[in-house]
Chains A and B, each alone.
Chain A
Amino acid sequence: MIINHPLLGPRDAAEFVYLGDAALLNRPDWQASDAAEQFYDYQYLRDNPAGDHRELWYHEQGDRSWLIVARNTLSHEITKVELARDVARARKQAHG
């Protein structure tokens, strides 16, 4: 697989470390009354879809940026690559 890094261009997937579903960015609120339940969901349960999947890749042997890669788990085709930082910032702005 070739990951088209937004800053560095096409890079071999072997340079990256894989973490998992990009939903792992959405850390639950530790002060919520049902925090234990929410963290169980967050930590252990997965959608695990067969098809489109947004996932976190870390460019360990490159610029050490976290990327959100949209990839199809049936074909391995990569359709979109973003800096996780940009996605998190955009979301923060949207939610004020």
Chain B
Amino acid sequence: MRYSALKILTEALTGNKGWQPVWREPEPKPAYDVIVIGGGGHGLATAYYLAKEHGITNVAVLEKGWIGSGNVGRNTTIIRSNYLLPGNEPFYELSLKLWEGLEQDFNYNAMISQRGILNLFHSDPQRDAYVRRGNAMRMAGADAVLLDADGVRKMYPFLDFDNARFPIKGGLAQPRGGTVRHDAVAWGYARGADSRGVDIIQNCEVTGFSIENGVCKGVETSRGAIKANKVAVCVAGSSGRVMATAGMRLPIESHVLQAFVSEGLKPVVDGVVTFGAGHFYVSQSDKGGLVFGGDIDGYNSYAQRGNLPVVEDVCESAMAIMPTIGRARLLRMWGGVMDMSMDGSPFIDKTQTDGLYFNGGWCYGGFKATPASGFCYAHLLANDAPHPVATELRLDRFKRGHMIDEKGAGAQPNLH
């Protein structure tokens, strides 16, 4: 069933009796060509692109809870491609291009809103760094605009431009960045994959892998063993736990990142504003809530909740740059588990076990990468070779000395 304005009108006139469930709830088959572990944004996107781009439809997505119950439902919904390094930027720009055509592509309203993202800077060296970043972005085909303080003032007059410690000297804007209705991304990909024959199996936890002579032949699950030619792990914060059952240690630590939303307010923040010097970023949802966050808590955690020192830090940063936010009341706060890699960049790669593939290490930046992650992972699964924009996202890059360390912070995940 295709969604369209005509369909909505017809249903409105006929009592809305013709709507179908958006995906089936099939029983697992004994064997598949490809099993994707993890029914989050990346896993569902992988299944979708496997079916759509490569015609591989004998695919199951196994999800231990309900689809979209992890980080795709817990993030702050920002999309952007303002990266610096050649190993990253073309990948994220592909992602942004896929976002731009996504709703037409999977015929689902994901409320993609290219309202622009602005990174503030406060000193000459920081401006130089952003000039360099902007040039790197433009060389990869992305858009970037350098604004001076007056340019920022025209967009966001309420910011504290004369802050004593971090006076605003300007900003690097990416007008094509923006926000997305995050749950709809999971649902849209699920619907697109399901309608092409992919089995989405919820409440099915993977408990182990069946590996014989270095070849992965399938998985053990809470609903029995399932065979597969290829097994694609895509479990974000649970990467360490799942891969440990395959006997693999990863260059990843799981950390908790908190996010916050205020009560609904009248429109005040048009786009996304980031205050990196002070650990704060904010946008406003279509319901009016100010959606904001800061840095990870900084210690290993699988708890999906954080602690008060970071809440204090985020709120102090918010008050420093946007004093008007002090009048808003906090509605909700929550945490998600981030698979923080040792250089802050992700992995889409084969493992040493034949037939076992790994996608993870997205740190706190996985949401924006969802389409390209699925696209490139599907490419790897179908062709056994990395997609041209994902050739650097390899598991062995630390051993080879080819890190993609955007921040230059070294093997210290809580500094990325």
Contacts and interface: CB of A to CB of B under 8 A. Distances in A.
A87 interface: no
Nearest to B339: A48
Contacts of A45: 249-251
A38 to B, nearest CB: 12
Nearest to B343: A44
Nearest to A17: B298
B268 interface: no
A94 B238 CA distance: 36
Contacts of B253: 20-21, 46, 48
Interface string B235-258: 000101100100001111110000
Contacts of B399: 40, 44
Nearest to B237: A50
B254 A48 contact: yes
Contacts of A63: none
B149 interface: no
B249 A18 contact: no
Contact of B252 (A46, A55, A71): A46
A44 B307 contact: no
B225 interface: no
A90 interface: no
A47 B136 CA distance: 35
Contacts of B309: 12-14
Contacts of A75: 303
B249 A13 contact: no
B307 A73 contact: no
B378 interface: no
A73 B309 CA distance: 17
Interface string B378-416: 000000000000000000001100000000000111100
Contact of B298 (A18, A40, A43, A48): A18
Contact of A44 (B241, B251, B299, B302): B251
A75 B251 CA distance: 23
A89 B241 CA distance: 32
Contacts of A40: 398-399
Contact of A50 (B240, B250, B413): B240
A45 to B, nearest CB: 4
A44 B240 contact: no
Given A40-B398, A44-B342, A50 B307 contact: no
Interface of B: 238, 240-241, 244, 249-254, 298-303, 307, 309, 312, 342, 398-399, 411-414
23 contacts: A13-B307, A18-B298, A19-B412, A20-B253, A20-B414, A40-B398, A43-B398, A44-B251, A44-B411, A45-B250, A48-B244, A48-B254, A49-B240, A49-B241, A50-B238, A50-B241, A50-B254, A55-B300, A73-B300, A74-B302, A75-B303, A76-B301, A76-B303
Top-10 shortest CB links A-B: A48-B240, A14-B309, A45-B249, A44-B398, A50-B302, A44-B251, A18-B299, A73-B300, A44-B342, A50-B241
Interface of A: 1, 12-14, 18-21, 40-41, 43-50, 53, 55, 71, 73-76
